[in-house]
Amino acid sequence: MGFIDLLLARVCRLCDAPVNADLDLCPPCQGSLPWNRLPCRSCAAPLPAGSGLCRQCALKPPPFQRTIAPLLFEDAVPRLIHAIKFGKGYSQAKLLSRLLGDAVAAAGDPLPNLLVPVPLTRGRIVHRGHNQAILLAAPLARRFGIPLKRKAARRIGRTAPQRGQSRAARARSVRGAFKANLPLAGTVAIVDDVMTTGATTAELASVLLEAGADEVVVWAAARVG
Q: Are 116 and 153 in contact (CB under 8 A)?
A: yes
Q: Which of 188, 176, 95 is nearest to 135 (CA)?
A: 95
Query: Please, which residues have CB within 8 angstroms of residue 144's CB and are 6 or more apart in sequence?
Result: 101, 104, 111
Per-residue pLDDT band for 2 (boundaries 50, 70, 90) equals very low
Q: For residues 12-31, give the mean pLDDT.
A: 84
For residue 41, pLDDT beyond 50: yes
For residue 29, pLDDT beyond 60: yes
Q: Are residues 50 and 145 in the same domain?
A: yes
Q: Are residues 24 and 116 in the same domain?
A: no
**What 3-state class would DSSP assign to 138?**
helix
Least confident of 7-11, 82-86, 126-130, 203-207: 7-11
Q: Please tell me the pTM assigned to this model.
A: 0.89
The whole-chain average pLDDT of the chain stands at 88
Q: Are residues 7 and 57 in the same domain?
A: no
Q: Are 157 and 82 in contact (CB under 8 A)?
A: no
Q: Are residues 23 and 48 in the same domain?
A: no
**What 3-state class would DSSP assign to 157?**
coil
**What 3-state class would DSSP assign to 71?**
strand
Count how many domains the chain has: 2
**What 3-state class would DSSP assign to 208?**
helix
The pLDDT, as a whole number, for residue 38 is 94
Q: How many residues does the chain have?
A: 225
Q: Are 220 and 97 in contact (CB under 8 A)?
A: no
pLDDT tens digits, 59-74: 999 999 999 999 999 9
Expressed as residue numbers, the domain containing 170 is 36-223
Q: Are residues 19 and 80 in the same domain?
A: no
Per-residue pLDDT band for 95 (boundaries 50, 70, 90) equals very high
Distance CA(217)–CA(120), nearest Å, equals: 19
Q: Are residues 127 and 203 in the same domain?
A: yes
Distance CA(161)–CA(163), nearest Å, equals: 6
Q: Are residues 67 and 168 in the same domain?
A: yes
For residue 193, pLDDT beyond 70: yes
Distance CA(118)–CA(71), nearest Å, equals: 18
